[in-house]
Amino acid sequence: MNESLFASKIKKTLDTGLDIGPGAAARLKAARERALERHRVPAAEFALTGRGMGVLRVGGVAQSWLRILVPAACLIAAAIGLQQWQETRQAARFVAQQAAEIEEVDTLVLTGDLPIKAYLDEDFQSWLKQASQ
Amino acid sequence: MRGRAHDNKDSPLASRNELSDFLADVERRAFKQALFAVRDEHVALDIVQDAMLRLAEKYGAKPVAELPPLFQRILQNAIRDFFRRQKVRSLWVTLLSSLAPRRDDDEADPLETLETAAGPSNQRGPELALEQSQLLDLIEREIRKLPARQREAFLLRYWEELDVAETAAVMGCSEGSVKTHCSRAAHALATALKARGIEL
Amino acid sequence: MAKASLAIALWLCLGTSLAFAQTNKQSPSWAQLSAEQQRILAPIQGEWNKLDPVRKRKWLGIAQRYPKMTPEEQERLQRRMQEWVTLTPEQRRAAREKYREFELLPQEERQAMRQKWDQYKEERAAQDASKAAATGKPAEEATAASGPAPNPPASLIKQ
């Protein structure tokens, strides 16, 4: 059989079934809008093109040593910058890890049956111990 | 079939409007796809909502052309997550998988062969003018009955119009497997329709 | 020569600005949050800038869970958020520890916890009322005078 021909007819039929009813359609629309609210474009990536290279067209006779020195200095500067960046990334990982550890328990405390002060009330704690004896 | 740019280095990032348009276009098909898999409207809606949120948050800045396969992968993952959470395996599947080792790609999945064989066995004469809605119901029912991998491959390729490479990437299998799943699905559907005297 | 130093300066700036961008990412200001995040975290908007990066990150994580919560959970979360951020770090730590202790209790005891709390409150209220009656002072004063362990200040007692 001609598979793609057959399948395109199936597709045509399936497309007629997209009238899913007002309730579901409304919910889908709401979900779409909610997703768009969350749409964040991350900060534009820094385009690493060969920026330093254009400055090497230095005129003059005794300037040849610059051609070695300048790229070397650029590399060092880049290395320092890179290290700074890596350190902050490590700090970021640390932050994420710490945050993740308390995220779950905080969620449970804040959404649970008991009000916050129940966990803080020491009289309640001792009362519980008494009550279970 | 929709043309799609594969070299996206210079494609502009998806704007909010483009994301909105894409979601508006795909949401109903996504809902139906989820519905075929989970057979519950509320769950299907939750799954689609989840997938949309994940797309907007994680991949909102991708080029527009990359959104369809990304979204499909997120959707399939969300459906799979649902099943994992449910931990529902029908007794049938458990029995069958104990009879033969199930491997995804090319080996015959015992459940596949069984389900396609158990199509409608009663022979009816050709039915002439079939109402469009009846045809739709029938086709949807047969799609629902397909084994999950066959259904995924078929719908991704022919309803969402991803190409074979993209479908393979979404499903996490080889291109050969995609073609096999598609042809089995098409064969199963055609057989089921023919048994009711329908030739598309 | 000037151009060369400019190039060096630019490379240094590159690294620093990437580092700065990361720091900003760690501690977003309120204005940098998405509309949805601001909506969910509205009760703590006033405190947001005082939070350290870890706490901010944690709240953003909680905000991410918000859509999946039941309406009841969502309501509780928003109601208690503000109280939570104004606790001292020790109080928060104590509350978390206490929650984890509760988690270890058997199922039936945990489920009954809410009722036990209500019961405790009733008994406490009754005690305070009778103390007040005995000493002829208003209830709050009576408890403040004789309370054995420090309670959270009255301003935090909502619900």
Q: Is A84 on the interface with C (CB under 8 A)?
A: yes
CB atoms inside a 10 Å sphere around CB A53: 12
Whether residue C84 sits in one domain with residue C53:
yes
Banded model confidence at residue A61, pLDDT cuts 50, 70, 90: very low
Whether residue C118 sits in one domain with residue C74:
no
Whether B190 is in a domain gets the answer yes
Q: What are phi and psi of B12, to 5 degrees?
A: -70, 155
CATH number at residue B66: 1.10.1740
Of B51, B86, B121, the position where a domain reaches its end is B86
Nearest residue of A to residue C109 by CA position? Answer: A132
Higher pLDDT, C95 or C127: C95
- Tell me what pLDDT residue B29 has: 95
Q: What is the mean pLDDT of residues C8-18?
A: 74
Q: Is B134 on the interface with A (CB under 8 A)?
A: no
Nearest residue of B to residue A30 by CA position? Answer: B49
Residue B149 has pLDDT above 80, yes or no: yes
Q: How many Cα atoms are found within 13 Å in the side-chain-facing hemisphere of C156?
A: 20
pTM: 0.43
Nearest residue of A to residue B52 by CA position? Answer: A35
**Chain A closest-CA separation from residue B32 CA (Å):** 8
Higher pLDDT, A63 or C13: C13
Whether residue C121 sits in one domain with residue C75:
no
Whether B92 is in a domain gets the answer no
Of B60, B86, B112, the position where a domain reaches its end is B86
Angle at C35 between CA C31 and CA C40, to 5 degrees: 100
Residue type (1 letter), B192: A
Whether B25 is in a domain gets the answer yes
From chain B, the residues in CB contact with A31 under 8 A are 27, 45, 48-49, 52-53
- Tell me what pLDDT residue B94 has: 60
Residue C130 has pLDDT above 50, yes or no: yes
Of chain B, the percentage scoring pLDDT greater than 90 comes to 51
Both tokens of A29, joined, read 């629309």
Torsion on CA atoms B81, B84, B86, B87, rounded to nearest 10: 170
- Tell me what pLDDT residue B31 has: 96
Rg from Cα positions in chain B: 18
Number of domains making up chain C: 2
CATH number at residue B138: 1.10.10.10
- Mutation pick from A33, A36, A110 vs chain C, by most beta carbons of C within 10 Å, is A110
Residue C48 has pLDDT above 80, yes or no: yes
Of chain A, the percentage scoring pLDDT greater than 70 comes to 81
Does the distance separating the beta carbons of A17 and B190 come in below 8 Å?
no
**Chain A closest-CA separation from residue C158 CA (Å):** 9
Q: What is the mean pLDDT of chain B?
A: 79
Whether residue C85 sits in one domain with residue C66:
yes
Whether residue B167 sits in one domain with residue B128:
yes
Spatial CA neighbour of A27 closest among B155, B30, B61, B55: B30
Number of domains making up chain B: 2
Residue A111 has pLDDT above 90, yes or no: yes
Q: Is B179 on the interface with A (CB under 8 A)?
A: no
Of chain B, the percentage scoring pLDDT greater than 70 comes to 71
- Tell me what pLDDT residue A43 has: 44
Does the distance separating the beta carbons of A18 and B200 come in below 8 Å?
no
Whether residue B110 sits in one domain with residue B54:
no
Rounded to whole angstroms, the Cα distance separating C60 from C56 reads: 6
The chains in contact with chain A, meaning 3 or more Cβ pairs closer than 8 Å, are B, C
Higher pLDDT, A85 or C33: C33
Q: Nearest by CB to A109, from C57, C74, C99: name it.
A: C99
Residue C75 has pLDDT above 90, yes or no: yes
Nearest residue of B to residue A22 by CA position? Answer: B28
- Tell me what pLDDT residue B90 has: 53
Rounded to whole angstroms, the Cα distance separating C51 from C55 reads: 6
For residue B82, the enclosing domain spans 16-86
- Tell me what pLDDT residue B89 has: 52
pLDDT tens-digit profile of B96-129? 665 555 444 444 444 444 333 334 443 343 444 4
Residue A47 has pLDDT above 80, yes or no: no
Q: Which residues contact B55 (CB under 8 A, 6 or more apart)?
A: A35, B19, B23, B67, B70, B71, B74
Whether residue C114 sits in one domain with residue C100:
no
- Tell me what pLDDT residue C143 has: 52
Residue type (1 letter), B117: A
Residue B150 has pLDDT above 90, yes or no: yes
Q: How many Cα atoms are found within 13 Å in the side-chain-facing hemisphere of B157?
A: 26
For residue C122, the enclosing domain spans 106-140
Give the three-state DSSP class for B63.
strand
Q: Range with the lowest mean pLDDT among A84-88, C1-5, C101-105?
A: C1-5
Whether residue B150 sits in one domain with residue B78:
no
Whether residue B107 sits in one domain with residue B82:
no
Residue B130 has pLDDT above 70, yes or no: no
Rounded to whole angstroms, the Cα distance separating A80 from B25 reads: 48
Higher pLDDT, C127 or C60: C60
Q: Tell me if C114 sits within 8 A of C99, measured CB to CB.
A: no
Q: Tell me if B31 sits within 8 A of A20, measured CB to CB.
A: yes
